[in-house]
Amino acid sequence: MQTLGLYLSIPFCKSKCTYCNFASGVYPASQIDGYITRVIDDLRAMRSHAAEWGTELPEIVDTVYLGGGTPSLLSAEQLSRLFSALRREFVVLPASEITVECAPGQLEDASLASMAENGVNRISFGVQSFIDAEAKHSGRLHTREMALADLNRVRSAGISRLSLDLIAGLPGQTAGSWQESLEVLGSTGVDHASVYMLEVDDDSRLGREVNAGGFRYYAPQVPTDEAITDMYEEATGFLEKLGLQQYEISNFARKGRESRHNLKYWDRKPYLGLGLDAHSMLRAEDGAAMRFATTDELPGYMEAPSWQPRRLAREEELEETWFLGLRRNAGVNLRELAAQFGEETVREIQPTLVDLECEDLIVLSGSEVRLTARGRMVSNEVFERFLATTPVS
Ligand code: SF4
């Protein structure tokens, strides 16, 4: 039975974090109601769109993820409207994983109660740093105390699956302060953590400032690339010792507590994304992947989501299989790859595999190909080597 993951994008934030490169913004709260109505309209229309595009839209949903943005800004009533609409349009299995991303200090009691009533069983907190000055200098609105208090509130509301996000590379961060953030994370006993390395690119205010050699947003205090890599490595070892096994480049969990929703992205299972800048992958009737996304401009989205489904060529599917599969510690299975793309495809990639193994970037064990710890550090380079060799027989 094919099941569906459902992603709902809530792009509203109270303030814009300096490092943020997401399609999110600070909009008047009065716009949220209209936005929810727009998303519900899309939910209702999706089945007929899917039929028009010749894509299969599974009726059974087993993961739901409200991301953003800051979904914890939704009121109790807005949350209930959304969850009622999605249960009207889809069969949401009772054992579904239902996650909401929350910003510490931005979760009202009534909204938390509504989440619990509506079946939310997993919360992901965007903490980024437990050092108050680091959080503040990055534009976050919480302190360590607020974040820890929220974790207790959520547990008291009966939601026990908790994840915390940390970012390595925030301005002012040092090896010592990073260690402190990790230790506080460890003390919370959460069963999942995500660790991201700061992305310095022109898509965020901080990234632009760093690239321009400017002084705003504490840009000169951004740690060096080497220091950021060391922090990531430190986190990997620390979290493993806590019993949070790495299962993807940025994700760590106790056994059985991996994000089932996010695994669908890397395993290329069907998912539907609704709302601003939401991405989807469904399957055409012949099994080919169809991808589509909504615009990242809020006014444009409110007029029309402007989906333009695109059928992937087999070369693109193969590239994705490598690119997404290698992100997972489980890696890519060559037997499955051969079954899907042909024996010749696997034969032609062998020289690249041998080279990468000699360079200690991948490990080959039986029919599994996985990144090594070193390969994960330079994963983009490794992916490029695979993408340069993607024949399809
Ligand atoms: S809360 Fe998240 S989405 Fe909003 S500005 Fe900060 S990083 Fe971006």
Look at ligand 1, atom 2, and give the residue with the nearest C-alpha: 69
3-state secondary structure (DSSP) of residue 7: strand
**How many angstroms separate the CA atoms of 341 and 344, rounded?**
8
Nearest Cα to 4, choosing from 55, 54, 63?
A: 63
**How many angstroms separate the CA atoms of 290 and 282, rounded?**
5
- Summarised one tens digit per residue, pLDDT across range 189-210 is 999 999 999 999 999 999 999 9
Q: How, if at all, do strands 251-253 and 192-197 pair?
A: antiparallel
Alpha-carbon Rg for the chain in angstroms: 21
pLDDT at 390 over 70: no
- 4-264 shares its CATH topology with 313-393: no
- What is the mean predicted confidence (pLDDT) over 239-266? 97
- Summarised one tens digit per residue, pLDDT across range 291-322 is 999 999 999 999 987 888 999 999 999 999 99
Look at ligand 1, atom 3, and give the residue with the nearest C-alpha: 69
Which burial class, exposed, middle or buried, applies to 321 when counting CB atoms under 10 A from its CB (0-12, 13-18, 19+)? buried
The pLDDT value given to residue 56: 96
Q: 104 pLDDT band (50/70/90 cuts)?
A: very high
**How many angstroms separate the CA atoms of 326 and 169, rounded?**
24
CATH 3.20.20.70 fits domain 4-264? yes
Tell which atom from ligand 1 comes closest to the C-alpha of 139: 6
Q: 323 pLDDT band (50/70/90 cuts)?
A: very high
- What is the mean predicted confidence (pLDDT) over 93-110? 98
- What is the mean predicted confidence (pLDDT) over 335-361? 94
Nearest Cα to 267, choosing from 252, 281, 250?
A: 281
Other CB atoms within 10 Å distance of the CB of residue 280: 24
- How far is CA 364 from each of CA 25, 192, 333, rounded to the nearest angstrom? 44, 27, 10
- DSSP sequence for 313-328: PHHHHHHHHHHHHTTB
Q: How far is the CA of 110 from the centre of ligand 1 (A)?
A: 22
Q: How far is the CA of 90 from the centre of ligand 1 (A)?
A: 29
- What is the mean predicted confidence (pLDDT) over 227-255? 97
Q: 393 pLDDT band (50/70/90 cuts)?
A: low
- DSSP sequence for 173-235: --HHHHHHHHHHHHHHT-SEEEEEEPP-STTSHHHHHHHHT--GGGGGGSPPHHHHHHHHHHH
Domain regions of the chain by residue span: 4-264, 313-393
pLDDT at 237 over 60: yes
**How many angstroms separate the CA atoms of 205 and 219, rounded?**
10
229, amino acid identity: T
- What is the mean predicted confidence (pLDDT) over 330-344? 95
Q: How far is the CA of 190 from the centre of ligand 1 (A)?
A: 21
Among 24, 100, 134, which residue has the most ligand 1 atoms within 8 Å of its CB, making it the best to mutate? 24
- What is the mean predicted confidence (pLDDT) over 260-278? 97
The pLDDT value given to residue 305: 79
Tell which atom from ligand 1 comes closest to the C-alpha of 68: 3
Name the token pair of 148: 């820890």
Residues framing ligand 1 (Cβ under 6 A): 13, 16-17, 20, 22, 24, 68-70, 103, 126
Angle at 99 (CA atoms; ends 257, 235), nearest 5 degrees: 50
CATH architecture of 313-393: Orthogonal Bundle (1.10)
Does residue 168 come out as left (phi exceeding 0), alpha (psi in the -120 to 50 range) or beta? beta
The pLDDT value given to residue 306: 81
- What is the mean predicted confidence (pLDDT) over 120-136? 98
Q: How far is the CA of 203 from the centre of ligand 1 (A)?
A: 13
pLDDT at 391 over 90: no
Tell me if 45 sits within 8 A of 57, measured CB to CB.
Answer: no
Q: 63 pLDDT band (50/70/90 cuts)?
A: very high
- What is the mean predicted confidence (pLDDT) over 140-167? 97
The pLDDT value given to residue 304: 87
The pLDDT value given to residue 170: 98
Counts of helices then strands in the chain (DSSP H, E):
15, 16
pLDDT at 392 over 60: no
- How far is CA 321 from each of CA 26, 264, 324, 328, 340, rounded to the nearest angstrom? 36, 12, 6, 11, 10
Q: 215 pLDDT band (50/70/90 cuts)?
A: very high
pLDDT at 137 over 60: yes
Contacts of 194 (CB under 8 A, 6+ apart): 124, 163, 164, 165, 166, 250, 251, 252
295, amino acid identity: T
114, amino acid identity: S
